Structure 1
Amino acid sequence: MGQFGPDGQPLASKDELIDLFWVYYPDAREVLANSIAFNSKNLSSDISFDDLLNARRFSTVIYKSDNGLGNGVIKDYIPKDADEQLEESERIKAQILQMENDMWNY
């Protein structure tokens, strides 16, 4: 289901929503570490938003890239093929994970 405005009218469907801003993680980390994330599946264990992000306990879809090849919004350089767009998103995720792993190899 999408988001609704104060008058109850739909603003956009779930698939049409996009990010409105970015938060610089190092500046927000103290607030995230001191704020508890609600988990309806486990009420006996508290976890902070910082822990949730660091443990990657969330799902994402990358929709925009600045990687030198297909810069910009994925749907702009892979139009009309949702499956291919998702594959590109997964490829970018794998590339980011590989870069992170390479940073920790000595």
Structure 2
Amino acid sequence: MTSVNGIDPGVPPSGSGCRECDEAGGWWFHLRRCAQCGHVGCCDSSPAKHATAHFRETGHPLVQSYEPGEAWYWNYATSELFESGPELAAPSSHPADQPAPGPAGRVPDDWAKALRA
């Protein structure tokens, strides 16, 4: 299936965590998944804000929460929240046993002080 309005439901996620944080040895608060290409990046409360950086680099406007039990979408281009949308290729979230913040072993003890509003 081809991408329609920034969503390609056939593209799987890029991994179980933020690709850039994993490469740099960083950590995240929550994860977001690009609805167009599947890139998984960290949210804007995370130190590095890789999901927003992905939008700025690619122009892919829609992300879906990549947290267990959440299905909402955010549109970076219009700053709109959608409570639901098309079902994307599995998996729909990071593994349930992966903590948030995560990943296990890389989150500093004072992580709450590092959250960005």
Query: The TM-score by the shorter chain falls in which range?
Result: under 0.3
Taking structure 2 as the reference length, what is the TM-score of the superposition? 0.23
* Bigger Rg, which one: 1
Query: Which structure is higher in helix share?
Result: 1
Question: TM-score, normalized by length of structure 1?
Answer: 0.25
